[in-house]
Chain A
Amino acid sequence: GAGVSQSPSNKVTEKGKDVELRCDPISGHTALYWYRQSLGQGLEFLIYFQGNSAPDKSGLPSDRFSAERTGGSVSTLTIQRTQQEDSAVYLCASSQREDRGGYTFGSGTRLTVV
């Protein structure tokens, strides 16, 4: 596609429910990254994919967070048993190569846990 697409753009969920956030990267981009941005804060790295494998999951805050990528394209970030502190904007980015920067970000999913 022309850009990185994320869905949904907004998600309100009840505490304890599971949520899935989707990222559709730019076609041909092999690297895909997930970041979290809390209100008024910087971007916190969560996980990155090279193809379908995730060499670095070091930023996932707890075992309630998981992500997968299939077909070297779409990625899903899943948060189980959501907590209020999970409320944030979840941003996805893709790049042509993992070591060259040049990220293109999506517009993010704003998650609110009530």
Chain B
Amino acid sequence: GENVEQHPSTLSVQEGDSAVIKCTYSDSASNYFPWYKQELGKGPQLIIDIRSNVGEKKDQRIAVTLNKTAKHFSLHITETQPEDSAVYFCAALIYNQGGKLIFGQGTELSVKP
């Protein structure tokens, strides 16, 4: 079955710097890759997603890149702000298996003012 590996597990950056979180997946049939942000005491919130027919997607300060050949995708956050501090999860969807998302282990991002 699908396996998603996420790195790093913790990331600390200065406000204004960029942050990059990387994930790899094992099942080449996966075709949908979302990123979720989870703040303390809340459920994960979808922040950006990408489908396998594109290589990059941007939404203001966040972007996701996908390399299908290498089976990895990354989240890029530019001009980080303290409110970006949270746990970020990547996931991959197993196509034809009911939309079951398999999640990475999460990255705790800390943005220091």
Assess whether B113 is interfacial by the CB under 8 Å rule. no
The answer to whether B49 touches A105, judged by C-beta atoms less than 8 angstroms apart, is: no
**Chain B residues in 8 Å Cβ range of A35:** 103
- Is A43 a contact of B32 with CB atoms below 8 Å? no
Report A67 CB to chain B, min CB distance, Å.
14
Residue A55 is within 8 A (CB to CB) of chain B in the complex = yes
Inter-chain residue pair count (beta carbon < 8 A): 68
Chain A residues near B42 (CB, 8 Å)? 107-108
Taking a contact as CB atoms under 8 Å apart, the answer to whether A31 and B99 are in contact is: yes
Name the A residues within 8 Å of B34 (CB-CB).
Answer: 101-103
CB of A25 within 8 A of chain B? no
**Chain B residues with CB below 8 A from A108, complex form:** 42-43
Choose one: B46, B96, B106; the contact of A102 (CB below 8 Å): B46
Please measure, in the bound complex, the distance between the C-alpha atom of A33 and the C-alpha atom of B34, giving whole angstroms: 16
Q: Are B101 and A101 in contact (CB under 8 A)?
A: yes
| Interface size, chain B (Cβ < 8 Å) | 26
Q: List CB contacts (< 8 Å) of B25-64 with chain A.
A: 32, 34, 36, 41-46, 49
Q: How far is the CA of A95 from the CA of B32 in the complex (A)?
A: 14
A99–B89 contact, CB under 8 A? no
Within 8 A of B (CB), among A18-42: 31, 33, 35, 41-42
A104 close to B46 (CB less than 8 A): yes
Asked if B96 and A99 make an inter-chain contact with CB atoms under 8 angstroms apart, the answer reads yes
B104: A residues at CB distance < 8 A: 42
| Contact A43 B103, CB 8 Å, known A91-B44, A106-B43 | yes
Query: Which residues of A come within 8 Å of B, CB atoms?
Result: 4, 31, 33, 35, 41-43, 45, 48, 50, 55-56, 91, 93, 95, 97-108
18 other contacts beyond A31-B99, A56-B98, A108-B42, with CB at 8 A cut-off? A31-B98, A33-B99, A33-B101, A42-B6, A42-B103, A42-B104, A43-B91, A45-B100, A45-B101, A45-B102, A48-B98, A55-B98, A56-B97, A97-B99, A99-B96, A99-B98, A103-B34, A105-B44
